[in-house]
Amino acid sequence: MSEYTLSEIRATNKRDTRKMDALLEKEGIQRDKNLDYSVGLFDEDYNLVATGSCFKNTLRCMAVDSGHQGEGLLNQVVSHLMEHQYERGNIELFLYTKCDSAKFFNDLGFYEIARVDGKVVFMENRRTGFQDYLNDLKKTSVPGEKIAAVVMNANPFTLGHQYLLEKTASENDVVHVFVVSEDVSLVPFDVRFQLVKAGSAHLKNLVYHPTGSYIISNATFPSYFLKDEDLVIRSHAKLDINVFKKIAASLGVNRRYVGEEPFSQVTGIYNQVMKEELDACGVECVIVPRKTDGTTAISASKVRKAIQEDRLSEIQDVVPASTYEFFLSEEAKPVIQAIKNAEEVIHY
pLDDT at 267: 76
Q: Is residue 186 within 8 Å of residue 156, measured between CB atoms?
A: no
Q: How confident is the model at residue 218 (pLDDT cuts 50, 70, 90)?
A: low
The residues near 65 (Cβ < 8 Å, ≥ 6 apart) are 23, 26, 27, 47, 48, 49, 50
Domains along the sequence of the chain with CATH: 1-91 (3.40.630.30), 94-127 (no CATH), 132-341 (3.40.50.620)
Q: What is the arithmetic mean of pLDDT over 310-329?
A: 96
pTM for the predicted model, two decimal places: 0.88
pLDDT at 217: 61
Q: How confident is the model at residue 348 (pLDDT cuts 50, 70, 90)?
A: very low
- pLDDT tens-digit profile of 256-281? 999 887 666 777 888 889 999 999 99
**Cα distance between residue 158 and residue 293, in whole Å:** 11
**Cα distance between residue 209 and residue 188, in whole Å:** 16
Beta carbons within 10 angstroms of residue 290's beta carbon: 17
Strand order in the sheet with 206-210: 206-210, 174-179, 147-152, 255-259, 284-288
Distances (CA, A) of 226 to 34, 53, 165, 184, 242: 15, 17, 34, 22, 18
* Coil, strand or helix at 241: helix
